[in-house]
Amino acid sequence: MTETFNRFYSDASHLMKKSAIREILKLTQRPDMISFAGGLPSPDSFPIEDLKKITSEMMDEEGKEALQYGTTEGDLRLRTLLAERHRKDGLNLSPASIMITTGSQQALDLCGKIFINRGDVVLCGLPSYLGGLNAFSNYGAKLKGIPLDDQGMRPDLLEKTIVSLKNDGSIIKFIYIIPDFQNPTGVTLPLSRRLEIIRIAERHDLIIVEDSPYRDVRFEGTPEPMMSSLETHGRVLTLNTFSKILAPGFRLAWVTGHPEIIDKLVTSKQAADLCTPPFVQRIVARYIEKGLLDVNLKKTVDLYRNRRDYMLRCFREYMPDGIKWTEPSGGLFLFVTLPPSMDAARLLEKAIQKKVAFVCGSVFYCNNEGHNTMRINFSFTGEKDTCEGVRRLAEAIREEMASA
């Protein structure tokens, strides 16, 4: 037998990278490890008893249909319910403008599949969600980061970059943006910037992929309009998920967009998995019909608001001078900036020894920057572990500062 299989692998396979976050999570399975690394919803938010009851009802009444193959587009009843929910967002959608996917990660992969030719440019935040960056890189995209400030992606730098790339003969396909409680920074794009970025996309004939997993996890303030509600020509494709507002184990998400693009996504998905499991789609449809999604979402938002507030109090108490962090109005993450001389990867080694973990911010930068940053999740751990974890992390930071 051959010692290596490299000669059998495709060119595309060599572009694939393991998720740094998934790899770190393997290190955090020890029961004594306090992990701020994953983007994990709290199990305390899962409505287990309600779902047990609904699943039993669904199997009694729809079991044969739920255990059969379904359509690639997704369950019609669920898509109709989602269209109704989006009316509050100013969207007038038909089910033909919605496709159910097996998690938002599948939707990101399908976007790469239908839009990207090898060498095409995708514009993204600097930093931006690692799962999106990996999905697009797998199809040979060149990622060009647009710096963020405390209001998200900077439109002036976006347009300047687009003009420069076009002058160099580059083909740009789309802008990838997370406008609400961005992963990893937690910042939210204001209305004025949403409109300006849409105008830039129109001027340069680009698609916008609006990734919106955290929009409903808002702790205070008034929601900004969805970018898809501000653009009326179908240029914006929006990705949504139940992972952060119900349960990630369902692996259930949905995409809204122009019917022509949705149809292309459906064709691409047919080759991937035929259909998202009808079993979980029917459970969630019933859950929404009974009005339980909004009831549980309110409890989840209250839980995460309290956990954010508590972690911020711990940061203010324990962190040494010279450490900066964001204070988001929603979502799951804080983004921490260390002094320029510090390396978060080296700090992580020391933190792991102290049995606390985080994700190095550099993995979210497509240009190999951000080595003095880190992402901290506040949704998963309870108060006791949060306090102790922040204390351990602050101790590791002080030791690293002293050695530097």
pLDDT tens digits, 112-149: 999 999 999 999 999 999 999 999 999 999 999 999 99
What's residue 294's pLDDT? 96
pLDDT digits (tens, 9 = 90+) for 336-367: 999 999 999 999 999 999 999 999 999 999 99
pLDDT digits (tens, 9 = 90+) for 142-186: 999 999 999 999 999 999 999 999 999 999 999 999 999 999 999
Question: Residue 57 pLDDT more than 60?
Answer: yes
Q: Which of 1-15, 240-254, 302-316 is predicted least confidently?
A: 1-15
Share of the chain above pLDDT 70, in %: 97
> Token pair of 161, please?
């970059």
Token pair of 36 as six digits: 């701020």
* CATH node for 48-292: 3.40.640.10
> Could you give the CA distance from residue 176 to residue 153 in angstroms, rounded to a whole number?
10
**Confidence at residue 232, expressed as pLDDT on a 0 to 100 scale:** 86
pLDDT for 66-124, tens place per residue? 999 999 999 999 999 999 999 999 999 999 999 999 999 999 999 999 999 999 999 99
Residues 291, 78: Cα–Cα separation, whole Å: 13
Give the CATH fold of the 10-47+294-403 domain: Aspartate Aminotransferase, domain 1 (3.90.1150)
Q: 84 is written with which tokens?
A: 């109704």
Q: What is the DSSP string of 27-80?
A: HT-STT-EE--S-PPPGGG--HHHHHHHHHHHHHHHHHHHTS---SS--HHHHH
214-271 residue pLDDT tens: 999 999 999 999 999 999 899 999 999 999 999 999 999 999 999 999 999 999 999 9
* DSSP-derived secondary structure letter, 356: E
Give me the chain's average pLDDT, please.
Answer: 95
Answer for the pair 49, 400: CB distance below 8 angstroms, yes or no: no
Q: What is the pLDDT of residue 27?
A: 62
Residue 22: band (very low, low, confident or very high) from pLDDT cuts 50, 70, 90: low
- How many helices and strands (H and E) does the chain possess? 14, 14
Domain ranges of the chain: 10-47+294-403, 48-292
pLDDT at 290 over 60: yes
Predicted local distance difference test score (pLDDT) of residue 359: 94
- In the numeric block, which tokens belong to residue 198? 């849409």
Half-sphere exposure for 350 (CA within 13 Å, toward CB) = 18
130: number of Cβ within 10 Å? 22
Angle at which helix 48-66 crosses helix 278-289, to 10 degrees, equals: 130
- Give all strands (DSSP E) within 102-180, no chain letters: 121-126, 142-149, 152-153, 172-177
How far is 157 from 163, CA to CA, in rounded Å? 10
